[in-house]
């Protein structure tokens, strides 16, 4: 696992991102250029079972360069059953996975990690920021209550499950240098402040949790520029794009997809500022997912009608 990114990220000829889990599923969505929906029927019959949606994210990311294809998994959804169920429904073989990248340590991105690794029947690297192991984390409520996050990542449990734990704070490369993992993202915008009610216990004292373990993927698409794939973008989706530009030395962002975290009263006030920055960066495709929230997704669809796509479980996006 290389830690060099600037100048070391290889160009790829094609990218395919398949949504194994998202907050939304709609079997009636239609195909559009570059966006393929799973078939409603197989062999002329509508199945008796369906794909599952949950408040979580899991993306199968495959890149092709020359005659080689590399596949990794970004995040593992919320529940233990959702992603494995959808993998079966979609007829996907995860046997070629080279690594799993965890965008951060929250339960809605780690839930099916162990069942997925068990299904592989072999060891696999899992790339994460060291703070993904932080415990105890809390979600603070307005009435003063603190809701404890479940600790789904325990180093000993991971190692016993056949996981090779790869901790990185800095940018690094996976999949033979074709995919960059940002590591800890610089926060330079004046409006992306993180999750204000996130707390973490440090030496018996509660502190603001800046969720420094938030990280994303960056891929260099030949002749097009960068494709940025976020988990929740707790560092801010604009910060994430700016950092991707910085660590690669490439200014053109061809596409950005994943969770933009613009849902709820703390984030809805920055939707318009985020959209303004998107207009400055000018990605040719914007696909908000997961924690982006309905209000923000609606605004993206209105402001970027030609570059927006509504995501759904089972959607396959090709660049």
Q: Of 273, 254, 253, which is closest to residue 262 (Cα–Cα)?
A: 273
- The C-alpha atoms of residue 62 and residue 298 are separated, in whole angstroms, by 28
Q: Are 56 and 79 in contact (CB under 8 A)?
A: yes
What is the mean predicted confidence (pLDDT) over 175-199?
Answer: 96
Quote the pLDDT of residue 135: 85
Checking if the pLDDT of 223 tops 80, the result is yes
What is the mean predicted confidence (pLDDT) over 272-291?
Answer: 97
Convert the pLDDT of each residue in 288-305 to its tens digit.
999 999 999 999 999 999
Q: Are 291 and 259 in contact (CB under 8 A)?
A: yes
- The C-alpha atoms of residue 81 and residue 104 are separated, in whole angstroms, by 20
Convert the pLDDT of each residue in 68-111 to its tens digit.
999 999 999 999 999 999 999 999 999 999 999 999 999 999 99
Q: Are 296 and 272 in contact (CB under 8 A)?
A: no
Checking if the pLDDT of 3 tops 60, the result is no
Q: Would you tell me how many other CB atoms lie within 10 Å of the CB of residue 131?
A: 19
Q: Are 117 and 80 in contact (CB under 8 A)?
A: no
Quote the pLDDT of residue 301: 97
Checking if the pLDDT of 1 tops 60, the result is no
For residues 11 and 5, the model is more confident at 11
What is the value of pTM for the model shown? Answer: 0.95
Q: Would you tell me how many other CB atoms lie within 10 Å of the CB of residue 174?
A: 22
Q: Domain ranges in the chain?
A: 11-318
- The C-alpha atoms of residue 256 and residue 286 are separated, in whole angstroms, by 5
Convert the pLDDT of each residue in 163-182 to its tens digit.
999 999 999 999 999 999 99
- The C-alpha atoms of residue 308 and residue 319 are separated, in whole angstroms, by 14
- Percent of the chain whose pLDDT exceeds 90: 88
The model's confidence at residue 67, banded by pLDDT at 50, 70 and 90, is: confident
Q: Residue 167 pairs with which residues in a beta bridge?
A: 128
Which helix (H) or strand (E) covers residue 248, if one does? helix 237-248
Convert the pLDDT of each residue in 243-269 to its tens digit.
999 999 999 999 999 999 999 999 999
What is the edge-to-edge ordering of all strands in the sheet holding 146-148?
146-148, 137-140, 198-202, 205-208
Beta strands in 145-294 (DSSP E): 146-148, 163-167, 172-174, 179-181, 198-202, 205-208, 217-221, 225-230, 253-259, 285-289
The model's confidence at residue 200, banded by pLDDT at 50, 70 and 90, is: very high
Convert the pLDDT of each residue in 99-142 to its tens digit.
999 999 999 999 999 999 999 999 999 999 999 999 899 998 88
- The C-alpha atoms of residue 50 and residue 72 are separated, in whole angstroms, by 24
Quote the pLDDT of residue 4: 60
11-318 topology per CATH: Metallo-beta-lactamase; Chain A (3.60.15)
Q: What DSSP state is assigned to residue 296?
A: H
- Percent of the chain whose pLDDT exceeds 70: 98
């Amino acid at each position: 696992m290389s830690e060099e990114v600037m100048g070391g990220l290889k160009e790829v000829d094609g990218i395919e991102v398949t949504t194994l889990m998202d907050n939304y599923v709609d079997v009636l969505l239609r195909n559009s250029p570059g966006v393929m929906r799973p078939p409603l029927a197989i062999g002329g019959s509508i199945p008796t079972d369906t794909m599952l949606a949950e408040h979580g994210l899991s993306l199968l990311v495959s890149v092709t360069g020359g005659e080689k294809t590399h596949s990794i998994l970004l995040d593992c959804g919320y529940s233990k059953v959702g992603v494995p169920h959808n993998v079966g429904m979609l007829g996907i073989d995860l046997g070629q996975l080279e690594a799993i990248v965890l965008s951060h340590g929250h339960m809605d991105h780690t839930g099916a990690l162990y069942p997925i690794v068990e299904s592989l029947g072999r060891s696999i690297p899992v790339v994460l920021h060291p703070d993904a192991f932080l415990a105890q984390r809390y979600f603070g409520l307005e009435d003063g209550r603190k809701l404890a996050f479940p600790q789904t990542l325990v180093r000993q449990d991971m190692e016993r499950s056949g996981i090779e734990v790869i901790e990185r704070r800095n940018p690094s490369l996976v999949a033979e240098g074709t995919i960059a993992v940002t590591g800890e993202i610089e926060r330079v915008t004046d409006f992306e402040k993180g999750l204000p009610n996130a707390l973490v216990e440090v030496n018996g004292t509660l502190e603001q949790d800046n969720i420094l373990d938030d990280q994303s993927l960056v891929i260099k698409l030949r002749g097009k520029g960068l494709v940025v794939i976020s988990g929740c973008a707790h560092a801010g989706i604009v910060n994430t794009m700016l950092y991707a530009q910085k660590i690669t030395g490439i200014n053109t962002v061809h596409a950005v997809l994943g969770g933009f975290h613009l849902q709820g009263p703390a984030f809805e006030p920055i939707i318009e500022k985020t959209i303004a920055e998107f207009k400055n960066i000018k990605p040719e495709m914007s696909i908000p997912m997961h924690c982006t929230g309905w209000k923000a997704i609606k605004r993206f669809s209105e402001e970027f009608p030609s570059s927006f796509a509504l995501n759904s479980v089972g959607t396959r996006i090709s660049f």
